[in-house]
Amino acid sequence: MATLLEVRDLTTRFHTLDGVVHAVNGISYTLEEGQTLGIVGESGCGKSASVLSVMRLIPEPPGKIAAGQVIYRGQDLLKLNESQMQHIRGKEIAMVFQDPMTSLNPVLTIGRQISEALIVHMGMTQKQAYQRTLELLNMVGIPQADSRYGDYPHQFSGGMRQRVMIAMALACMPSILIADEPTTALDVTIQAQIIDLVKTLRDRLGMAVIWITHDLGIIAGLAEKVIVMYAGFIVERGDVDDIYDDPRHPYTLALLKSLPRVDRSSKERLATIPGLPPDLLSLPPGCPFAPRCAYVIERCRQENPRLEIVDSHHEIACWVDVGTGRER
Amino acid sequence: MTQYIIRRLLQAIPLLFIISLILFILMRNTGDPLATMGGRRLTRPEDRERLARQFGLDKPIYVQYLYWLIGNDWTKIDMDGDGIPETPGTRKGVLRGEFGTSLVIRGKPVSTLIWERLPNTLLLMITTEVVIIIFSIIIGVYSALRQYSVIDHLVTTVSFVGYSMPIFFIALASMYLFAVNFKKWGLPYLPTVGMFDPQIGKTPAQVALHMVLPVFSMALISIAGYSRFVRATMLEVMNEDYIRTARAKGLPNFTILFIHALKNASLPLVTIIGLDIPMLLGGAIVTERIFAWPGMGRLFLDHVSRADTPVVMGILMLISVAVIVFQLITDIVYAWLDPRIRYT
Ligand SMILES: Nc1ncnc2c1ncn2[C@@H]1O[C@H](COP(=O)(O)OP(=O)(O)OP(=O)(O)O)[C@@H](O)[C@H]1O
Ligand code: SF4
Ligand SMILES: [Mg+2]
């Protein structure tokens, strides 16, 4: 499979009045064509910031992409100017956001909001764009598309709005769909429907997907590769089966323990990770997980471990072997 | 929507009655229309008495109001002062569309007086409103985009100064600069009085030229205030999630700014403009006076100082209706811009 997107040492910071927020700290990963990559981590660990950096949608100021490269089909997106970037956004890489309630423009019809991308990127006429928009609405499962074309976002339920968002993102057949916690704001049943919809469309259109979530449970049936993020670092990366069956990083282990599982008896209490994620304004010198880690050793507080291969396709950033509890 | 408009108009009727009653009482207590009858000499006492009877000014105020409202052709007036009413009244009253005749310009119907001036005032006001909207949007959007740039700071300062100046000061200062001094310096200068140069005639170019200073004086304060307002709402809207969505779609900046953002940002602006229209009317009175613009403002001042009740009441009622209508238009525009609003 050909590499579609390669992120190298991406570093993003926010220069706020309180100081510099180190939101993304030199992360690297690749995405192959048609592949689905899951990015997992607690709230505030830089998941959104990392993908918004790829799209160059970080608000500047206060944000700033301080270093790194984002190579899409051979060209570094971070070197493009704004108008070149506009040809990438929506056309090559599209995005669906977390909150469907606020992510659609309340004063424009959903038909307009879907068709405008078609007119801009595909050079369609109003009429062609209208036809295509109806097809898209059908595709994402919105019944009576032609009568709903002229409706406004407030006339749709949350799940339906997220379908509209998906139709909008897929309008120009992008190669990559970035979904930033698209189901967090929805009911559980609707969540499952949306996940199924994205899966079906992904397979039909053959696009690559980056799916962000703080819920490892969602990723299992969806992604092939998983990145676990903590404090703006990638702490573990591997194939989805390896991450579930053989997690090697204490943080991933803790995340999995906090997950309800059918194969575990309901009497067993769910473990939550003690403590809070670190303050990204002032990161400790050693491993950022050290204050909460059950395996912490002396070295962790002095040196931040780098991401290293522990198995084929399986990397972690940790000094300790969780199997033995001793330094690797 | 139609239902809503009809209901609002019906609701306005009692309001207009109350307004008219209050204004009428105030008017009757502000001066003596018979003092000089528009001339320079004092009216003779015997004439006074006769005129008072003729105009019904000898009657109690509620009767006068009634005559103004529904006319007096259903009753007789005592013209010769012998205590026996003998002459049938001729007034039809406001409710039958007759605003009466001026007391000081004898026999001239109020409607004719107003009708002569109304188009001039409307021309001035609508032009001013359009200028205000266009400039405050351009300046507001620009300074929101270039937040904290030199231009933004400059605009902030200028609008702060502009906002704290009274209209008459701006009017006089602009006259002093653009007319008096420009003439002195040999630059092309602007006219300061009237609607056109009588030697050239009432050509559109002349009227436009004569409008520059009055429009500028009236618009400046509002542009100063509104552009700050547009800047603030634009900054707020540009941070909304749906703007990020629009950017993620790869739309050109122009579309994002003027369609996705401005349509949302204009909602509060519409409300403010609607509320400020009565103020603009007030500004028009002052401005027309200073620039000798032959509009209703001048008509109003000329007649209010002589307590010419029918004319003044006519103008005030027209303004009241205008304010109600403008408010209704504001509501309609708002509903048109914001689909979440549905009036029932
Ligand atoms: N516009 C901003 N200004 C300042 N700091 C920001 C801004 N956006 C994000 N941050 C900071 O960057 C860090 C990473 O935020 P990010 O939104 O990427 O987290 P996340 O992993 O997506 O969390 P969540 O699951 O809550 O969406 C946080 O500490 C956040 O406070
Ligand atoms: S490096 Fe140390 S503190 Fe960090 S996760 Fe590994 S064991 Fe825990
Ligand atoms: Mg996020």
Q: Is the pLDDT of residue B237 over 90?
A: yes
**Four-CA torsion B141, B144, B147, B150, nearest 10 degrees:** 30
Report the pLDDT value the prediction gives residue A127, as an integer from 0 to 100.
Answer: 92
Q: Is residue B280 part of a domain?
A: yes
* B272 and B296 belong to one structural domain: yes
Establish, for the pair of chains A and B, how many residue pairs have beta carbons separated by less than 8 Å: 79
- Domain boundary, last residue among B56, B86, B108: B108
* B39 and B56 belong to one structural domain: yes
Separation CA A267–CA A270 (nearest Å):
9
- Each residue's pLDDT tens digit, B306-337: 878 888 888 888 888 888 888 888 888 888 88
Separation CA B195–CA B26 (nearest Å):
32
Confidence of residue B67 (pLDDT cuts 50, 70, 90): confident
CA-based nearest residue in chain A for residue B335: A107
Q: From residue B225, give the alpha-carbon distance in Å to each of B141, B166, B230.
A: 14, 13, 9
Which of A178, A226, A227 is CA-nearest to residue A198?
A178
Helix (H) or strand (E) holding A314: strand A314-316
Residue A270: count of CB within 10 angstroms of its CB: 11
DSSP state letter for B152: H
Q: Is A230 in the pocket of ligand 2 (CB under 6 A)?
A: no
- Domain boundary, last residue among B108, B126, B155: B108
Residue type, A51: V
DSSP state letter for B142: H
Q: What spacing in Å lies between the alpha carbon of A39 and ligand 3's midpoint? A: 11
Q: Is residue B101 part of a domain?
A: yes
Count of positions (residues) in chain B: 344
* B272 and B207 belong to one structural domain: yes
Separation CA B32–CA B28 (nearest Å):
8
- Domain boundary, last residue among B81, B108, B135: B108
Contact A57 B259 (CB under 8 A): no
Q: Is A8 helix (H, G, I), strand (E, B) or coil?
A: strand
For residue A38, what are the β-bridge partners?
Answer: A211, A226
* B76 and B189 belong to one structural domain: no
Token representation of residue A317: 């950033």
Is the CB of residue A220 less than 8 Å from the CB of residue A241?
Answer: no
* B81 and B127 belong to one structural domain: no
Separation CA B333–CA B154 (nearest Å):
32
Q: Is the pLDDT of residue B55 over 90?
A: no
CATH number at residue B127: 1.10.3720.10
Of B241, B260, B337, the CB nearest to A99: B241
Separation CA B205–CA B314 (nearest Å):
31
**Cβ partners under 8 Å of residue B31, min gap 6:** B305, B306, B307
Which of A34, A33, A36, A39 is CA-nearest to residue A52?
A39
Strand bridging mode A75-76 / A63-72: antiparallel
- Each residue's pLDDT tens digit, B176-231: 888 788 878 877 878 877 888 778 777 888 888 888 888 888 888 888 888 888 99
Helix (H) or strand (E) holding B310: helix B309-337
Rg, C-alpha atoms of chain A: 21
Separation CA B157–CA B139 (nearest Å):
13
Which of A179, A259, A183, A252 is CA-nearest to residue A212?
A179
Q: Looking at the complex, does the CB of residue B117 fall below 8 Å from at least one CB of chain A?
A: no
Is the CB of residue B195 less than 8 Å from the CB of residue B210?
Answer: yes
Report the pLDDT value the prediction gives residue A109, as an integer from 0 to 100.
Answer: 93
Separation CA A285–CA A301 (nearest Å):
7
Region at A158 (left for phi over 0; alpha for psi -120 to 50; beta for the rest): alpha
Residue B303 phi, psi (nearest 5): -95, -25
Q: How many CA atoms lie within 13 A of B282 on its CB side?
A: 8
pTM of the model: 0.80
Instruction: Sort out which chain A residues have CB atoms less than 8 A from B239's CB and list them.
Output: 59
* B162 and B249 belong to one structural domain: yes
* Helices H / strands E in chain B, number of each: 13, 2
Report the pLDDT value the prediction gives residue A95, as an integer from 0 to 100.
Answer: 93
Angle between helices B204-238 and B167-174 (to 10 degrees): 130
**Which of A48, A53, A58 has most ligand 1 atoms within 8 Å of its beta carbon, as the pocket-test mutant?**
A48
The residue ranking higher by pLDDT, B275 or B244, is B244
Separation CA A327–CA A314 (nearest Å):
18
Helix (H) or strand (E) holding B27: helix B2-28
Report the pLDDT value the prediction gives residue B11, as an integer from 0 to 100.
Answer: 87
A-proximal residues of B, 230-249, CB under 8 Å:
239-242, 244-249
Q: Is the pLDDT of residue B255 over 80?
A: yes
Q: What spacing in Å lies between the alpha carbon of B308 and ligand 1's midpoint? A: 69
Q: Is residue B14 part of a domain?
A: no
What is the extent of the structural domain holding B249?
Answer: 112-305
Separation CA B78–CA B87 (nearest Å):
6
Report the pLDDT value the prediction gives residue A270, as an integer from 0 to 100.
Answer: 59
Q: Is the pLDDT of residue B257 over 60?
A: yes
Separation CA B49–CA B251 (nearest Å):
78
Token representation of residue B177: 């600069």
What burial class does residue A114 get, using C-beta atoms within 10 Å of its C-beta: 0-12 exposed, 13-18 middle, 19+ buried?
buried
Ligand 1 atom with the shortest distance to the CA of A45: 21
**Cβ partners under 8 Å of residue A145, min gap 6:** A133, A134, A137, A138
Q: Is residue B21 part of a domain?
A: no
Separation CA B344–CA B341 (nearest Å):
10
* B133 and B242 belong to one structural domain: yes
Q: Is the pLDDT of residue B106 over 80?
A: no
Report the pLDDT value the prediction gives residue A86, as an integer from 0 to 100.
Answer: 92
Q: Is residue B10 part of a domain?
A: no
Residue B323: count of CB within 10 angstroms of its CB: 17
Q: Is A43 in the pocket of ligand 1 (CB under 6 A)?
A: yes
Is the CB of residue A108 less than 8 Å from the CB of residue B263?
Answer: yes
**Which of A47, A58, A65, A212 has most ligand 1 atoms within 8 Å of its beta carbon, as the pocket-test mutant?**
A47
Q: Is the pLDDT of residue B275 over 90?
A: no
* B225 and B238 belong to one structural domain: yes
Report the pLDDT value the prediction gives residue B26, as an integer from 0 to 100.
Answer: 85
Q: Is A37 helix (H, G, I), strand (E, B) or coil?
A: strand
CA A122 to chain centre: 26
* B266 and B189 belong to one structural domain: yes
Token representation of residue B219: 């618009």
Structural domains counted in chain B = 2
* B124 and B31 belong to one structural domain: no
Q: Is residue B283 part of a domain?
A: yes
Q: Is the pLDDT of residue B56 over 80?
A: no
* B282 and B144 belong to one structural domain: yes
Q: Is residue B1 part of a domain?
A: no
Q: Is A307 in the pocket of ligand 2 (CB under 6 A)?
A: no
**Tens of each residue's pLDDT in chain A, 328 residues:** 688 899 999 999 999 888 889 999 989 999 998 899 999 988 889 999 999 999 999 988 788 998 889 999 989 999 989 899 999 998 999 999 988 889 999 999 999 999 999 999 988 999 999 999 999 898 888 888 889 999 999 999 888 898 899 899 988 889 999 999 888 877 888 888 888 888 888 888 889 999 999 888 888 888 999 999 999 999 999 999 888 888 889 899 888 887 766 555 555 555 677 777 788 888 888 889 888 888 888 888 888 888 888 888 889 988 888 778 777 7
Q: Is A221 helix (H, G, I), strand (E, B) or coil?
A: coil
Which ligand neighbours the alpha carbon of A23 most closely? 1
Question: Tokens 């139609």 sit at which residue?
Answer: B2
Mean pLDDT of the B82-91 span: 77
Separation CA A39–CA B327 (nearest Å):
52
Q: What is the DSSP track for A140-206?
A: TT-SSHHHHTT--GGGS-HHHHHHHHHHHHHTT--SEEEEESTTTTS-HHHHHHHHHHHHHHHHHHT
Q: Is residue B301 part of a domain?
A: yes
* B286 and B230 belong to one structural domain: yes
First to last CA, chain A: 33
